[in-house]
Chains A and B, each alone.
Chain A
């Protein structure tokens, strides 16, 4: 990626046989046939079933715990008190007692026999109401900054000012495979863990630290995992307790997978974000000032500071953020932490300002591109016209509220986003066996994004082999360390380590083979399943023949990232346009189409890359229209901790999705950057803007449900703010 060529550099476009092509994921057949074994599916001999007794209340102190009846139940093998009498419980579903039994039914019976008494404490969960939170003393101002002269900018007689309220509630990750693990912890000590995790290599150390056993005695496996989205990095308390239950049960394996209700209550949420925003531009549409007072909750600990204003560094700005503490389960990273919420606030406010200026929002964003980070401007300026064309913007967009006259109104909305990404630390073993088979082994994990496939493609490309010739082994902590999968850093990390390892392995093979071919090793190349002399393809060995020369000594090298030659970079841009129809009689929003134009540097596998973006749009449509964690303010009880009332979009809610990946000069040479986060950022804002374009008024918060649309249409007197 530098200007000086380096031996590890990504092959140039004309030479790529696999990189950048549309390739089916290598574990597709195992998944489609149901043969793939996830943590939930691990049933080792002697397996015990674990259950956690959870607090049914959101804020209490434990007065007493009596597990005696549970312990007496035949089939119960271990009972552990996790949080003792006297402990303050801060959210519903928190873990109090763990049980292991010979069947799940008996474990449940035992859980019902545990008697716990509680003293009730005041519950606060109403995060949308800042005044109520302040009154309850549940707030903390964590940002209050200013740049430029905000007052003056707003007072400029030439300024056009838009004011509004925007927001979104807490949503859950709702991974289809619940959090959980199977643990087998025997004396020795020896701890075997099958865990649904985004951190195969990093978690053993965490278990070791808490359980006070050598990390070397721990092996953690996660061959397949059913979704994480940022919520499965760490070792959870239920993981530690699962191990302890196994130890108490004489080393028999114990499985604890969270029930769906617990999954939605305690296994991670995305923080809410609400904000009152004022934003100003001069009459020609140049942004001049921004003022935001925003707040949100991520549970008892509040939430992190959102990046406001998003993408555009408006010259005069005043930004205040207040974290609200609620008696609800805690936040975890959720694809592109804080970005989607910040996009809803920023892109919604900018869209309202564009409407006030009577400007086409794409023109408005383009006009202000000087305020976007310099490194991203080119991407946005490339992408906006492509998105405009793919969405048929010039055909379907109309000034706000000036669409068709019937009850069903169509509208288009745009948003843009960014994300860092990079390559995380990764090491891998690349082995070329004398029979010609090749394996790449590393302690990474495939969350469903196609990590296995990407690794295989990079190795095969580097060795001049077909993809099928490479076996990728991941999901086991005994393999070389590779980072946790978060922040869109995995593909950058594993493809770089694999590239370096594969190039080194190739060189090692060449060194063995070269004498026989009568040339120095650097005159060899590996192409199309052959090792041959550059410029003299007649002098060639098949891959198998070449590898046979290794005899009893396979080539095995370690590839690393970071390492020589910079193979990745950071910072991507993307643009999305939503096209919706709103039934103004019912307030029901239907998607007509959604367009994503996305950059991620060098695309390794176009097919799985596109899938990432398709999936991000589906998740985005889901949170824009349906998702909301509902907690009763009177009792602190979750009202929709199930998949019926916690609504996820079904196939019928998904329109025509159009993905355009930016590739070629200006993109490829940056190496793979990262893709999982960025396309999830814009959908909420783009859909909210499309609805405003359709019906002429802003529905201030997502999800855009019928009640809110009808209230917005009824006017500000009737429509509630939140």
Chain B
């Protein structure tokens, strides 16, 4: 790692001050950031540790109001929080098998939501868009783990966060704090597809940090499903978060958001429409899965991910409906 300055403020406000100017990064759990710094993929000259910013902690559920997650709440806390498990099952599921126990013990909600892509070209030092001589290396390269949706270029990486698709399905928003004060933004608007190598994949203004995640009251059953080749601690090949609003036995409305398939968490209005008004069955779920990937445009080596995304959506729907079998 290259050298850097370090500060450990006691509040979010102070953190924002310390982030101003220069090339500073926020240090939360550190798992992703330190790995990038060791590989010189990121070279901040200041780290602002949020460890002691107590106003970024806390996880509270208020009936009728919803769930508030401080940005520094750990994944372990989310996974084991009784009311999250009860009212937002999908959120707890997204946290409980993310990475490994050691990472969940330090990894934070904010860190999970702001982790950088795992794209192996990016991690090997080719930049976020893996450009070489003006062209992306990915279309003709080893793109087995890359995007199948939203991949018209130049971004082909996939959004890696487990929590993001699930929180978007719940219609959650971020509370941000920056030099010009706080603001709120729907999480669905937070993730953006970069157009150039110097763009960010997050709609964060300079010096801004996530302080809280606000999840509205749950409209009904939810589930998160992820497909990993290894049983544990393996990057998912496809994920899906599903929230159902029921009208008796029929789906009144549904939210379906996929992860690991596009440069941003990928909502599927097609799948949502195909579920509306239906009683969930294996066939209905399968149809929704097909609808979710109908517009997929696989790259040279990742057509299998279209199948995986379809199956993932299907299984997430069945899990949300309490019909998990396969």
Contacts and interface: CB of A to CB of B under 8 A. Distances in A.
- The answer to whether A and B touch directly, with their CB atoms under 8 angstroms apart, is yes
Contacts of A706: 227, 229, 237, 304, 308
A626 B230 CA distance: 8
By CB atoms of chain A within 10 A, which of B123, B141, B144, B304 has the most?
Answer: B304
A637 B142 CA distance: 11
B141 A408 contact: no
B232 A650 contact: yes
B124 A639 contact: yes
A508 to B, nearest CB: 55
A218 B43 CA distance: 42
Contact of B304 (A587, A630, A640, A650): A587
Interface string A686-722: 0000000000000000000111001100000000000
Nearest to A408: B326
B137 A634 contact: yes
B326 A585 contact: yes
Contacts of B1: 105, 108
B6 interface: no
Interface residues of B, number: 33
Given A630-B120, A630-B142, A707-B144, A586 B308 contact: yes
B140 interface: yes
A644 interface: yes
Contacts of B141: 632-634
B2 interface: yes
Given A585-B311, A637-B124, A632 B304 contact: no
Interface string B1-36: 111000000000000000000000000000000000
A652 B120 contact: no
Interface string B103-123: 000000000000000101101
B interface: dominant SS: loop
A84 interface: no
Given A630-B120, A645-B120, A707-B304, A586 B227 contact: yes
Contacts of A705: 229
Count chain B CB atoms within 10 A of each CB in A638, A705, A706 and give the residue with the most: A706
B326 A638 contact: no
* Prevailing SS type, chain A contact patch: loop
Nearest to B233: A650
A66 interface: no
A668 interface: no
Interface in B291-308: 301-304, 307-308
Contacts of A24: none
A23 to B, nearest CB: 32
A653 B231 contact: yes
Contact of B230 (A585, A639, A650, A707): A650
Interface string B131-144: 01000010011101
A588 interface: yes
Contacts of A56: 125
User: Top 5 nearest A-B pairs by Cβ distance?
Assistant: A652-B231, A707-B304, A639-B120, A652-B232, A710-B304
Contacts of B235: 644
A707 B302 contact: yes
Interface in A604-640: 625-626, 630, 632-635, 637-640
Interface string A456-470: 000000000000000
A47 B301 CA distance: 48
B234 interface: yes
13 contacts: A585-B307, A585-B326, A586-B307, A626-B230, A632-B124, A634-B137, A645-B123, A650-B230, A650-B233, A652-B231, A652-B232, A706-B304, A710-B304
Given A652-B230, A706-B304, A586 B142 contact: no
A512 interface: no
A647 B142 CA distance: 16
Nearest to A639: B120
B304 A635 contact: no
Contact of A639 (B3, B142, B326): B142
A496 to B, nearest CB: 42
A649 interface: yes
A125 B308 CA distance: 29
A705 B304 CA distance: 10
A224 B264 CA distance: 47
Contact of A647 (B2, B132, B234, B304): B234
Contact of A653 (B2, B227, B230, B304): B230
Given A586-B227, A635-B132, A650-B231, 6 more contacts: A109-B2, A586-B307, A588-B227, A625-B229, A649-B230, A707-B302
A72 interface: no
B32 to A, nearest CB: 11
B229 A626 contact: yes
A583 B228 CA distance: 12
Contacts of B121: 632, 639
A539 interface: no
A590 B231 CA distance: 9
A644 B120 CA distance: 10
Nearest to B306: A710
B311 A586 contact: yes
Given A585-B311, A587-B304, A632 B142 contact: yes
B232 A638 contact: no
Contacts of A653: 230-231
Contacts of A642: 123
B320 to A, nearest CB: 18
A226 B120 CA distance: 28
B284 to A, nearest CB: 16
B227 to A, nearest CB: 6
